[in-house]
């Protein structure tokens, strides 16, 4: 049997990921409501002073996304454990790196969708308006979600097979994501509050660099993670 | 050998720590601004350094765990060669031509000359002034403003040119003895008439000088040597009229205005930065080659895994001590237990990251999986170290930047170095002992596999 090329394999596997998400929409819905609840909780914990909420809106949005991402990432490998689906994929004549790219892209797409849906509640709950408009915000959200999902996918693959995986994934992932979180929150704040000093570019540059490094590292290291020990 | 080291290392380490405590607590002078609190640095800084060193060791053994010795040497050597070639190429293609275009003159330093700014400057501006001087009005103010803009990078030194009015030059240096160089300079530059003796006295009292002391200095001329040295330097450089400015030896043409000075200073900094890129590339190349060679010393995969575990645990220990001491230092210095100083913050984040690494090792029972997975996590975490540091620094720089001591006194350096070596002895000792423990654990696991199967195996 001919081995499919890497892009072709990624395409097929990504289709599988998305189909899986679509057919289990209940999970996506639960995730949406979870992140919405997180945003609500931030208002209860810090409100009702609207100005304080406005100042921190970008941070609360990204913390909401981050908390949901841990659940989404963990879930994306838990389903592979059912019926030993991951073993089946490993047996297929597909490059393991394609598996990483498809999984990470699927997670990034899911998180991007989630964050896009969260924008409206954020604007409403924290009373913010977008000074720079939706276009730059979309860019920031997609880049931030890409930054979460590349190392997140590697770590989710690891922790899904360990004991205490629900504690392990955030413990491994959160410190790693500090630079990405900083850059994403700063960029979002700039999109919300305006960017008089032209800082958005450099923060997006940091986010881009983070993405480049961790998509590269994940691509190199992921095959070692899922090969059978 | 092992027995000798087993007894010797602790004895040497404790002895060195005792000497280090004496050096740090008694011998070294209290720090100029922060006083005795600063002494915490003598243990805080070595602890953090040792933690970083342990992380490097952890990284090397983790890479070695994922790669065999020969490919490791090959990849490390190739990466190192690539970086060195890139650095040398950049030097030849960009840096050297850019430097060749710049004309530089040698200006030897002179003690006791009027000067301000940092002691370890990247930019040294030497300004010749004297009377008469067209365009000297406001010169000292302009240079002070420039120093504020390039605070911590720039040092400004004045030299005086005897010129047509040697009396004025002497008067300026005599005023410097009272710390009034700039004041007298501005008062003189504003004077329109000739600067004869009565005019000088009027100007001096207007500038707020202690006039009798100043006149006594003028008749005794303690500054004569300096004046001669300045005149000789000026003659050597071919300076005939004031003002004449040199930035790192580059003669600056045109009037001394803040805008033109900034252009020159930024250009000079950019040149230095490009030189730094070369050093960085070559340095990184050598480090890559060195680390891969170090990794190739680790013979078996089991040794690499045990060394990774040992160094991570010891590193977390030293890191925790370092962060704790940093917080204790921050309280009296900055008035808070925690400050978002980039170094302290990155150290704390690292501590959490490597605690996660150690937790992962505890939560995976299969030895092979544990080794490979933790190696992957170690590599990913290590790569994050510089990113965290620079992003936190960046994030901080948009708020106010906390001043951290840069100009360290020589006796502080001695105490710091000594304590670092004392800590290094303990780093080696702890890592070695922990490594032997890991090896023994690994062996016992392989001899008697755990009777409780791992969760993953049950599911499969």
Check residues A210 and B100 and name the one with the higher pLDDT: A210
CA A219 to chain CA mean position, Å: 17
pLDDT at B180: 85
Residue A49: how many CB atoms within 10 A of its CB? 9
Subunit contact A224:B66, Cβ cutoff 8 A: yes
Closest-CA residue in chain A for B382?
A176
**Residue B455 confidence class, pLDDT cut points 50, 70, 90:** low
Distance CA A89, CA B339 (A): 48
φ/ψ region of B408 (left if φ > 0, alpha if ψ in -120 to 50, else beta) reads beta
Subunit contact A224:B376, Cβ cutoff 8 A: yes
Interface residues of chain B, partner chain A, Cβ below 8 Å: 66, 349-350, 352-353, 355-357, 359-360, 363-366, 368-369, 372-373, 375-377, 379-381, 383-384, 387-388, 391-392, 394-395, 398, 454-456, 459-460
Question: Number of Cβ pairs closer than 8 Å across A and B?
Answer: 99
DSSP assignment of B302-318 equals HHHHHHHHHHHHHHHHH
Check residues B41 and B283 and name the one with the higher pLDDT: B283
Closest-CA residue in chain B for A86?
B460
Distance CA A202, CA A179 (A): 13
Inter-CA distances, B22 with B9, B39, B137, B408, Å: 20, 11, 54, 19
Is the pLDDT assigned to residue B457 strictly greater than 60?
no
Subunit contact A182:B372, Cβ cutoff 8 A: no
Strand pairing partners for B128?
B159, B244
> Nearest by CB to A224, which of B372, B395, B455?
B372
Neighboring chain B residues of A178 at a CB cutoff of 8 Å: 349, 384, 388, 391-392
Residues B304-328, mean pLDDT to the nearest whole number: 92
Subunit contact B352:A162, Cβ cutoff 8 A: no
User: What is the pLDDT of chain B when averaged over all its residues?
Assistant: 84
pLDDT at B395: 78
Window 198-227 of A: residues touching B by CB (8 A cutoff) are 199, 202, 206, 209-210, 213-214, 217, 221, 224-225, 227
**Residue A156 confidence class, pLDDT cut points 50, 70, 90:** very high
pLDDT in tens, B191-234: 777 777 788 888 888 888 888 888 888 888 888 888 888 888 88
Q: Where are the alpha helices (DSSP H) in B91-193?
A: 96-100, 139-149, 166-176, 181-190
The full length of chain A comes to 229
**Pick from B424, B441, B296: nearest CA to B367:** B441
Residues A59-86, mean pLDDT to the nearest whole number: 89
pLDDT in tens, B392-449: 877 776 444 444 444 556 677 888 888 899 999 999 999 999 999 999 988 888 776 6
Distance CA B62, CA B286 (A): 19
Q: Quote the strand ranges of B130-286, DSSP E.
A: 154-160, 244-247, 250-252
Subunit contact A162:B355, Cβ cutoff 8 A: no
Distance CA A145, CA A65 (A): 8
Q: Take residue B18 and report the two structure tokens written for it.
A: 């005792």
Distance CA B73, CA B81 (A): 12
């Amino acid at each position: 049997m001919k081995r499919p090329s890497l892009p072709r394999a990624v395409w097929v596997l990504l289709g599988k990921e998305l189909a899986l998400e679509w057919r289990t929409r209940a999970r996506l819905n639960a995730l949406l409501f979870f992140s919405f609840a997180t945003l609500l909780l931030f208002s209860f914990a810090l409100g009702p002073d609207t100005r304080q909420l406005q100042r921190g809106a970008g941070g609360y949005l990204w913390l909401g996304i981050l908390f949901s991402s841990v659940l989404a990432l963990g879930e994306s490998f838990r389903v592979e454990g059912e019926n030993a689906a991951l073993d089946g994929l490993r047996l297929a004549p597909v490059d393991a790196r394609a598996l990483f790219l498809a999984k990470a892209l699927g997670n990034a797409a899911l998180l991007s969708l989630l964050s896009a849906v969260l924008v409206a509640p954020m604007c409403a709950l924290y009373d913010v308006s977008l000074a720079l408009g939706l276009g730059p915000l979309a860019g920031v959200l997609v880049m931030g979600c890409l930054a979460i999902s590349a190392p997140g996918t590697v770590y989710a693959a690891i922790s899904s097979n360990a004991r205490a995986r629900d504690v392990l994934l955030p413990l491994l992932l959160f410190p790693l994501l500090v630079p990405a979180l900083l850059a994403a929150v700063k960029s979002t704040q700039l999109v919300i509050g305006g960017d008089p000093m032209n800082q958005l570019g450099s923060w997006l540059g940091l986010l881009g660099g983070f993405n480049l490094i961790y998509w590269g590292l994940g691509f190199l290291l992921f095959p070692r993670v899922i090969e059978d020990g | 050998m092992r027995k000798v080291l087993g007894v010797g290392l602790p004895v040497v380490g404790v002895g060195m720590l005792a000497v280090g405590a004496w050096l740090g607590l008694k011998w070294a002078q209290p720090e100029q601004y922060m006083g005795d609190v600063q002494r915490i640095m003598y243990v805080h800084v070595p602890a953090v350094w040792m933690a970083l060193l342990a992380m490097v060791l952890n990284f090397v053994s983790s890479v070695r765990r994922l790669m065999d010795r020969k490919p490791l040497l090959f990849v490390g050597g190739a990466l190192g060669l690539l970086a060195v070639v890139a650095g040398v190429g950049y030097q030849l293609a960009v840096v050297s031509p850019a430097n060749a275009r710049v004309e530089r003159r040698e200006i030897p330093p002179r003690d006791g000359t009027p000067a301000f700014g940092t002691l370890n400057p990247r930019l040294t501006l030497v300004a010749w002034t004297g009377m008469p001087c067209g365009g000297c009005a406001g010169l000292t103010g302009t240079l002070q403003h420039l120093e504020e803009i390039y605070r911590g990078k720039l040092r400004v030194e004045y030299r005086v040119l005897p010129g047509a009015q040697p009396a004025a030059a002497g008067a300026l240096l005599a005023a410097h003895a009272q710390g009034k160089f700039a004041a007298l300079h501005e008062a003189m530059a504003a004077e329109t008439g000739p600067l004869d003796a009565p005019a000088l006295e009027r100007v001096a009292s207007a500038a707020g000088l202690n006039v009798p002391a100043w006149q006594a200095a003028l008749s005794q001329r303690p500054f004569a040597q300096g004046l001669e040295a300045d005149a000789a330097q000026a003659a050597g450089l071919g300076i005939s009229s004031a003002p004449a400015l040199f930035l790192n030896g580059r003669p600056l043409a045109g009037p001394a205005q803040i805008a033109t000075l900034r252009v020159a200073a930024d250009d000079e900094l950019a040149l230095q930065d490009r030189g730094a890129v070369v050093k960085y590339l070559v340095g990184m190349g050598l480090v890559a080659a060195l680390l891969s060679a170090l990794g190739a010393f680790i013979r078996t995969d089991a040794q690499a895994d045990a060394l990774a575990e040992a160094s991570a645990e010891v590193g977390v220990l030293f890191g925790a001590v370092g962060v704790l001491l940093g917080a204790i230092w921050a309280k009296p210095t900055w008035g808070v237990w925690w400050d978002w100083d980039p170094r302290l913050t990155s150290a704390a984040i690292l501590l959490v990251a490597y605690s996660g690494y150690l937790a992962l090792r505890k939560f995976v029972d299969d030895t092979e999986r544990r080794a490979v997975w933790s190696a992957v996590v170690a590599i990913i975490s290590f790569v994050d170290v510089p990113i965290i540091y620079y992003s936190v620094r960046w994030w901080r720089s948009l708020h106010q930047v906390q001043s951290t001591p840069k100009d360290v006194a020589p006796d502080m350096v001695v105490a710091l170095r000594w304590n670092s070596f004392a800590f290094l002895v303990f780093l080696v000792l702890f890592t070695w002992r922990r490594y032997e423990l890991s090896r023994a654990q690994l062996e016992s696991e392989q001899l008697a596999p755990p009777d409780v199967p791992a969760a993953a195996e049950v599911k499969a």
